[in-house]
């Protein structure tokens, strides 16, 4: 029975309480695995999350000639002297992070052929900025027959201004620039903690990078990089999901393994809804004693409120006291989630970039369908505060972003089962 034939059965009326451990960041580990391509030899990455995308990325690297093995949460990547430059096999098309091998391949091989990725149904993700940046560095780029084709005789430093602080474009341009001749200055770059994590690993490998975490990154190209050991930062989106789940269910959850500095705006919003939030060195605790208050959310690139948490914010708003307005500034198709929330009895409507949600005391169970990783998590959490039993379909999405999702929920006091559709 494939995971596509499974659904979650979620019993309503749960209050989440206890501790949860968060693993490495999904949005970091895949890029760190790609960065390993920049150095011949064995790179070791620790604190890897147990999610579907990690073995998929391992398949991508194996297809390029690497040996990849896993022991627990450690992945070892043995990169050959002669890499293959064509990433056009099925694993590449299955998830969008695969496109981050483009920068390392053009840097190492002077040529790259990468199939256009699939992934979540949350809006268009054109590679225009990736290509424009690589062209500035001296590469010739085009999209032909569903593949990005890039080649360069020599990569050289350049001044690059991104029209939007795209995480993917920042990563690809950065990974190409570290082996380019001369200095590269990239302005209006993404400032996400995962970018800082990538820069930290590249720095250990011998790259010369300044400005990680700010809007301008300077790179002084070097002739070669060396393999390293590196530990992935905690997943702030997973951590925030558990914190918001505590507020949603009137619970009390201690979240370990995440730097609260990476969640300033989110923890501020939780305080606004009335939660008690206590921060530790690599942890935080959220306790919600009364019905949450309605607040407004506006998604923005880091350090703003993450677009990945927008579905969870809508689920929280659906049972909050008052009206919440959620503004989506990053991905245009993310409001599909609202239609599924309406099935669960939410008083909500979406119009373009805005969703207006009037909180109700309780949702009502119904069969619902997830369209992406975060929508899947949001619908399960909504099911926890619905009367009766909610069925959430297309659960394979959640496995791409949340390790041990059902096990953690049940440990915190929920009743959630993964059921084969034939049962």
Give the residue numbers of the binding site for phosphoenolpyruvate.
26-27
Are 254 and 21 in contact by the 8 Å Cβ rule? The answer is no
d(CA 56, CA 32): 14
**Token pair for 362:** 């309780």
CA atoms within 13 A on the CB side of 401: 23
Count of CB atoms situated within 10 Å of the CB of 82: 9
**Token pair for 400:** 């791409």
**Token pair for 386:** 């619905």
Identify the burial level of 423 via C-beta atoms within 10 angstroms of its C-beta, where 0-12 means exposed, 13-18 middle and 19 or more buried.
Answer: exposed
Binding residues for UDP-N-acetyl-alpha-D-glucosamine: 96, 308, 330
d(CA 145, CA 143): 7
d(CA 24, CA 235): 5
The DSSP string of 339-379 is HHHHHTT-EEEEETTEEEEE--S-EE--EEE--SHHHHHHH
**Token pair for 252:** 């009390």
Active site residue 197: no
d(CA 169, CA 186): 10
Integer CA distances (angstroms), 311 to 8, 83, 333, 378, in order: 17, 40, 12, 5
Backbone angles phi, psi at 314, to 5 degrees: -65, -40
d(CA 291, CA 319): 8
d(CA 33, CA 185): 24
DSSP code of 392?
A: E
Integer CA distances (angstroms), 190 to 39, 187, 213, in order: 24, 9, 8
Binding residues: 26-27, 96, 308, 330
CA atoms within 13 A on the CB side of 35: 35
Q: Which of 73, 120, 372, 399 is catalytic?
A: 120
**Token pair for 31:** 């890029």
Backbone angles phi, psi at 282, to 5 degrees: -140, 40
> Taking the alpha carbons of 20, 26, 27, 29 in that order, is the dihedral positive or negative?
positive
Active site residues: 120
């Amino acid at each position: 029975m494939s995971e596509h034939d499974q659904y979650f059965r979620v019993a309503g009326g749960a209050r989440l309480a206890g501790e949860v451990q968060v693993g490495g960041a999904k949005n970091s580990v895949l890029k760190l695995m790609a960065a390993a391509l920049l150095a011949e030899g064995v790179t070791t990455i620790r604190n890897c999350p147990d999610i579907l995308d990690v073995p998929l990325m391992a398949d991508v690297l194996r297809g390029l000639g690497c040996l990849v093995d896993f022991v627990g949460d450690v992945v070892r990547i043995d990169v050959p002297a002669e890499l293959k430059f064509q990433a056009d096999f099925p694993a590449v098309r299955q998830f969008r992070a695969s496109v981050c091998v483009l920068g390392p391949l053009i840097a190492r091989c002077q040529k790259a052929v990468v199939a256009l990725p699939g992934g979540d149904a949350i809006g268009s993700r054109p590679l225009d900025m990736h290509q424009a940046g690589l062209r500035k560095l001296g590469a010739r780029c085009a999209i032909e027959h569903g593949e990005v084709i890039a080649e360069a005789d020599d990569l050289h430093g350049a001044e690059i201004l991104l029209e939007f602080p795209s995480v993917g474009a920042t990563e690809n341009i950065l990974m190409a620039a570290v082996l380019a001749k001369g200095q590269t200055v990239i302005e209006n770059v993404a400032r996400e903690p995962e970018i800082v994590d990538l820069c930290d690993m590249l720095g250990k490998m011998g790259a010369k990078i300044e400005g990680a975490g700010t809007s301008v990154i300077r790179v002084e190209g070097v002739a070669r990089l060396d393999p390293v050991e590196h530990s992935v930062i905690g997943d702030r989106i997973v951590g925030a999901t558990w914190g918001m789940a505590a507020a949603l269910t009137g619970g009390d959850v201690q979240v370990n393994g995440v730097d609260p500095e990476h969640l300033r705006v989110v923890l501020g919003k939780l305080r606004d809804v009335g939660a008690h939030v206590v921060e530790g060195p690599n942890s935080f605790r959220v306790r919600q004693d009364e019905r949450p208050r309605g607040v407004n959310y506006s998604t923005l690139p880091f350090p703003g409120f993450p677009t990945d948490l927008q579905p969870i914010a809508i689920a929280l708003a659906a049972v909050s006291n008052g009206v919440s307005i959620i503004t989506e500034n990053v991905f245009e198709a993310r409001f599909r989630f609202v239609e599924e929330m309406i099935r669960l009895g939410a008083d909500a409507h979406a119009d373009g970039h805005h969703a207006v949600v009037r909180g109700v005391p309780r949702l009502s169970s119904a069969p619902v369908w997830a369209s992406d990783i975060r929508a899947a998590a949001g619908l399960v959490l909504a099911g926890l505060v619905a009367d009766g039993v909610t069925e959430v379909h297309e659960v394979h999405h959640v496995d791409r972003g949340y390790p041990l999702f059902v096990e953690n929920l049940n440990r915190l006091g929920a009743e959630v089962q993964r059921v084969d559709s034939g049962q």
